[in-house]
Amino acid sequence: MSKLIRSDAAKAVDNGIPLAALVLGGAAIGGSPIFVRLSEVGPLATAFWRVALALIPLLIFALARREKSAIRPASLADGFMLVLPGLFLATDLVTWHLSIHMTSVANATLLANLAPIFVAVIGWLFLRAQISGLFLLGLATAMVGIVTLKGGLAGLAHGDLRGDGLATVAALFYAGYILVIGRLRSRFDTLQIMIWSTAAAAVCLLPIALLAEGVMLPPSLFGWSMLIGLAFISHAGGQVAITYALAYLPPAFSSLTLLLQPVVAALLAWILLAEAIGPLQAIGGAVVLVGILIARRG
C-alpha cells in the first residue's frame, strides 16, 4: 500500500507538522485564563460552557465531512474508551478552577503545571516509555522557568494547603488525560476522540456547576463572547491540535511543550489586561523555552 502511504507521510514530515500543531494548541489553551477571568459566570459554569459550546464546531465539522464514525463508535467498549479522557478532563477542570479560589494564583498555576512530571513518571513506570537524561534536564529547566515566571519561591509561600492539594490533583488528572489520548490515537481519529471526550466532560460538569453555583447564563453579550472564545479557540482549537499531535509525538514531550501555556497567558495578560511583565517574568519565560528546546533534543 505504497509503503503505508510513505510511512504515514514520512511521519508527518519528520514530526514538523505535529510539533507546530502542538505549539499552536498550547498557545490556544494559554489564552484560556484570560477568558476565564473575564467570564461573567462562576468558574464551574465557565468550565461547563467551555466544553458544551465546543461541541458545536466539532459536530458541524463531522456532519459536513459525513463522518458518522466520529459520532457513533463501533462498540460499547469503544464508547467507554472514548468517554474516559472526558472524565479525566472534567475532574481536571473542576479541581483546577476550585484551586484558584482556595490558594494563590501562583501556587495553583505552578502545581497544575506539574502534569509533565506525572506524565514522564507514569509513562516510565507503567508504559515502558524511554526517558533520556537530556529530556529530564529539559524538564527540570522548564520547571525552574515556571517557578521564576510565577515570582520565584518567595511568591509561592502564601498558598493554602487544601488549594495546593487540589491543584496537584488537577495536574495528575491532566496527565491522565494526555496519556489516555496518546494511547487512543493509535485506534481512533482526532475528531472522534474530541467529540466523545468533550461530550463526556460536559455531561459531568453540568450537574456540578448547577449544584455549586446555580447561575449558568451570562447576563450580557460580552459574557457570551468570552465563553464562545474559550470554547472555540482554547478547547475546540487548542485541544484538537494537541490531540492530533499526540498521534506522532511522545506524550511526555507533548505535555512538556504545553508549559508554553503560562508563558502565553502572561503575554496575553500584558497585551489585553495591561498586567506588567517584569524582568523576573521575562527571564522565567525564556528559561521555559530553553528547557523545551533541550527536551526536544532529548
Q: Whose CA is closest to 240, among 200, 191, 175, 176?
A: 191
Q: In this predicted model, what pLDDT tens digit does every residue of 47-96 receive, in sequence order?
A: 999 999 999 999 888 888 776 666 677 778 888 888 999 999 999 988 88
Residue 112: the pLDDT is: 76
Residue 6: the pLDDT is: 42
Per this entry, what is the length of the chain?
298
Q: In this predicted model, what pLDDT tens digit does every residue of 115-126 receive, in sequence order?
A: 777 777 777 777
More confident residue, 292 or 221: 221
Cα angle value 250/256/258 (rounded, 5°): 105
> Is 0.75 topped by the overall pTM?
yes
Are 203 and 52 within 8 A, CB to CB? no
The CA distances from residue 102 to 66, 130, 161, 292, in Å, are: 45, 37, 9, 30
Distance CA 295, CA 176 (A): 21
Are 194 and 84 within 8 A, CB to CB? no
* Residue 1 grid cell: 500500500
Residue-range domain boundaries for the chain = 15-297
* Secondary structure of 117-170 in HEC code, one letter for each residue: HHHHHHHHHHCCCCCCHHHHHHHHHHHHHHHHHCCCHHHHCCCCHHHHHHHHHH
**The dihedral of CA 216, 217, 222, 225: what is its sign?**
positive
Q: Whose CA is closest to 245, among 51, 17, 54?
A: 17
